[in-house]
Amino acid sequence: MNYAIAPSPTVSLPIHGSEQRFPIRRVFCIGRNYADHAREMGATIDKETPMFFCKPADAVVTDGGPVPYPQATSDLHHEVEMVVALGSGGKDIAADQAQALVWGYGVGLDLTRRDLQAVAKAKSHPWDVAKGFDHSAPVSALVPAAQAKPDAGTVLRLTINGSVRQQATLGDMVHNVGEIIAALSKLFELKAGDLIFTGTPAGVAALQRGDSFHAELEGIATLDGKVV
């Protein structure tokens, strides 16, 4: 292929215990998927209409790399989430068939410029600039689904500088993984390489330059990093 400019490299994630990597196509996120987080944000949940947004693939921070404090904000917030990687896709997928699409699992942070989000909400504007900025999606190495079986009792946790900020079990999710995939597939044709951030529990708060974080999907995946 003869390109006018050099194409950007494919963004990819490491695979736990393998030299292979997982190429990223799209990054989907669900909002308000833990009731306690919705309450702390003063929001309500419409279970019949899940709320989705996207981040660009090149917003993903891989391999435990440093996270630069973003421009245009003074209120950067952490949101720890289980991340699901798809190995296949489709449209209008039934929830009871959706699990078969899952290639693997990881843990990540949906970083948010909360001050810009507040302005967008007040003006009924989209959240793109609050959510889809550079380096806004640190993600761990992925663990193949054949080796990892998160369930309702699996703990999702985030510590900042050694102190627990967020903790919940996956059973607290409003929509489970199958329901999230099914709902997304009614809006987009899902494909191999898609990542899905599955929502965050209560406890979101500000990050400062120099903060170290440890995110954990207990017994499955961990992510360590630092805001610089």
Whether 197 and 29 have beta carbons less than 8 Å apart is answered as: yes
Q: Which residue stretches of the chain have pLDDT < 70?
A: none
The pLDDT of residue 155 is 98
Judged by DSSP in three states, 33 sits in coil
What's residue 45's pLDDT?
Answer: 83
pLDDT in tens, 115-166: 999 999 999 999 999 999 999 999 999 999 999 999 999 999 999 999 999 9
Q: What is the pLDDT of residue 35?
A: 86
pLDDT, residue 1, reads 86
Q: What is the CA radius of gyration of the chain?
A: 17
d(CA 61, CA 216): 16
Cβ burial, residue 141 (10 Å; 0-12/13-18/19+): buried
pLDDT at residue 226, as a whole number:
98
CATH architecture of 12-226: Alpha-Beta Complex (3.90)
Q: How many helices (H) and strands (E) does the chain have?
A: 5, 16
For every residue of 204-228, which 3-state class applies, written as one string? CCECCCCCEEEEEECCCEEEEEEEC
Distance separating the N- and C-terminal Cα atoms of the chain:
38
